[in-house]
Amino acid sequence: MTTLAIVGGDCLRPDGTVERADVLIDKSTGEILEIGEDFSADETLEATDCLVTPGFVNGHTHVAMTLLRGYADDKPLDAWLSEDIWPAEAALSAEDVRAGTELGLLEFIKGGVTGFADMYFEVSEIAAAVEEAGLRARLGHGIVTVGKDEADARADAQESLDVAREFDGAADGRISTAFMPHSLTTVSQEILEEFVPKARADGIPVHYHANETTDEVHPVVEAQGVRPLEYADDVGMLEPDDFVAHGVHLNEREIELLAETGTGVIHCPASNMKLASGMAPIQELLDAGATVGLGTDGAASNNDLSMLDEARDAAMLGKLAANDASAVPAEAVVEMLTRGSADAIGLESGRLEVGGVADLAVIDLEAPHLTPRHDLVSHLTYAAAASDVRHTICDGQVLMRDRVVQTLDEAAVRRRATEHAAAVLERVA
């Protein structure tokens, strides 16, 4: 057994309290062995004047979209996707996806993110990058059937199923998968009815965008005569392991359905604000007992992958949406940022506790904007930034030590991404 001790810091415990303690980790199993003091360990990470928290979990993203960061801004969802993003994505090669993914994973590690759920294509490249970077992820191939003939639509869905089967358990178990129809309006009913039961039979969860804009709700109501999530329930897409992104426009029955079925909801406040999609009823979802996590969505609709920015946005937007300053308080946000997302996407992390997986972020508190230290949960939600993260640990391995990423060559990853992004834009121009 090789051990790692994180020494000198304050620990954020699952009950929301903060206590002065060291953390002892078994590097071979990636497990937290003890939380206390005076451990002798093979290796130490210095955390004096730092907060040790569960690693942040990005519950919904398209990580390779870092290549399109700043490429198309200031448009609503449908025009943004059909006029800019989809044509650009059609020009992406497997190598481009790899370069964009590595850039995104670098940004994750530098911002204390240890786990994420990703919907994209060229998933074998994404899985290889995740394995190399040392992160934990639930990956899937996004299916779109609109504008495709039956054979192409079925091939896309089959690919999503095949990818989910192939990569489950990859990277020493750090990679899990899901079947990922893009949304209830971009994938046909026939495809959902044929393929969702196949995923279900293999125990594969389903992840999709749902109720993101009103333009996405109305066509379902018209075609099906029921609300989108009632339709999702009818086609078997609301099960405890399933999770939806957004859930902005929900009625009471849909909120109830999400809570009753245990389907996770990933709130993406920055994307919702940037695309002017609307304000998700997060306090109502929490009151109903739904499992709620946070996600950045892709870098083209955010435009960064900072989960600490997302936390602040969730608190701010949650209050505006509820017209109540006490709604979506800091404790609820920190929960969404860590175990809320982890539970929603089915990752075994999000808790700093003995026996838990050692997926951790260490935040440097020695900064003007984190002074004084009245309440560290408040600081995490409202004041801390990705650049305050000092160390990142996933599965017991140190992915970043003193802001130096250990698993990826930062300069090379940034250079490659810059080159690939420029080449893609030349091809679409």
Ligand X SMILES: N[C@@H](CCSC[C@H]1O[C@@H](n2cnc3c(=O)[nH]cnc32)[C@H](O)[C@@H]1O)C(=O)O
Query: Reduced to 3 states, what is the DSSP secondary structure of residue 250?
Result: coil
Nearest CA to 233 out of 208, 269, 204 is that of: 208
**Nearer to ligand X (CB atom), residue 39 or residue 120:** 120
Q: How wide is the angle at C-alpha 333 spanned by C-alphas 58 and 24, nearest 5°?
A: 70
Q: Which of 120, 167, 231, 243 binds ligand X (CB under 6 A)?
A: 120
Closest approach, Cβ 298 to Zn ion, in A, equals 6
369 marked as binding residue? no
Question: Of 27-35, 108-116, 224-232, 293-301, which segment contacts ligand X by CB under 6 A?
Answer: 293-301
**Nearer to ligand X (CB atom), residue 182 or residue 339:** 182
The DSSP symbol for 239 reads: -
- Residue 208 CA to residue 191 CA, distance in Å, equals 14
Closest approach, Cβ 429 to Zn ion, in A, equals 25
Q: Which does 235 bind (CB under 5 to 8 A by kind): Zn ion, ligand X, none?
A: none
Question: Of 83-91, 92-100, 232-240, 346-354, which segment contacts ligand X by CB under 6 A?
Answer: 83-91
Query: Reduced to 3 states, what is the DSSP secondary structure of residue 243?
Result: strand
**Nearer to ligand X (CB atom), residue 6 or residue 92:** 92
Q: How far is CA 150 from CA 90, 185, 215, 338, in A?
A: 19, 16, 25, 40
Closest approach, Cβ 227 to ligand X, in A, equals 19
**Nearer to Zn ion (CB atom), residue 303 or residue 392:** 303
Closest approach, Cβ 34 to ligand X, in A, equals 41
Closest approach, Cβ 10 to ligand X, in A, equals 36
Q: How many residues does the chain have?
A: 429
Closest approach, Cβ 183 to Zn ion, in A, equals 9
Query: Reduced to 3 states, what is the DSSP secondary structure of residue 175?
Result: strand
Q: Is 119 in the site for ligand X (CB under 6 A)?
A: yes
Q: Is 123 in the site for ligand X (CB under 6 A)?
A: no
150 marked as binding residue? no
Q: How many CB atoms lie within 10 A of CB 14?
A: 14
141 marked as binding residue? no
- Residue 392 CA to residue 382 CA, distance in Å, equals 20
Nearest CA to 281 out of 305, 262, 308, 259 is that of: 259
Helices then strands, each counted (H, E), the chain: 16, 20
Closest approach, Cβ 188 to ligand X, in A, equals 14
Q: Is 298 in the site for ligand X (CB under 6 A)?
A: yes
> Which helix H or strand E contains 325, and what residues bound it?
none
Q: Which does 67 bind (CB under 5 to 8 A by kind): Zn ion, ligand X, none?
A: none
Q: Is 271 in the site for ligand X (CB under 6 A)?
A: yes
Q: How many CB atoms lie within 10 A of CB 128?
A: 17
Terminal CA-CA length for the chain: 55
**Nearer to Zn ion (CB atom), residue 125 or residue 297:** 297
Closest approach, Cβ 311 to ligand X, in A, equals 19
Question: Of 81-89, 107-115, 343-351, 373-381, which segment contacts ligand X by CB under 6 A?
Answer: 81-89
Q: Is 297 in the site for Zn ion (CB under 5 A)?
A: yes
In the numeric block, which tokens belong to residue 70? Answer: 């700043």
- Residue 257 CA to residue 413 CA, distance in Å, equals 43
**Nearer to Zn ion (CB atom), residue 209 or residue 227:** 209
Closest approach, Cβ 210 to ligand X, in A, equals 10
Amino acid in position 104: G
Q: Is 212 in the site for Zn ion (CB under 5 A)?
A: no
Q: Is 248 in the site for ligand X (CB under 6 A)?
A: no
Q: Which does 420 bind (CB under 5 to 8 A by kind): Zn ion, ligand X, none?
A: none
Binding mask 145-184 for ligand X (x = CB under 6 A): -----------x-------------------------x--
Q: Measured at CB, which residue is nearest to ligand X?
A: 142
Q: How many CB atoms lie within 10 A of CB 305?
A: 29
Query: Reduced to 3 states, what is the DSSP secondary structure of residue 317?
Result: helix
> Which position has the token pair 């993914």?
101
**Nearer to ligand X (CB atom), residue 272 or residue 349:** 272
In the numeric block, which tokens belong to residue 128? Answer: 């290889």
Name every residue whose Cβ is closer than 8 Å to that of residue 116 and which is 6 or more positions away in sequence. 57, 58, 59, 61, 63, 108, 135, 136, 137, 138, 345
Binding site for ligand X (CB under 6 A): 62, 77, 81, 85-86, 89, 119-121, 142-144, 156, 182, 209, 212, 271, 297-298, 301
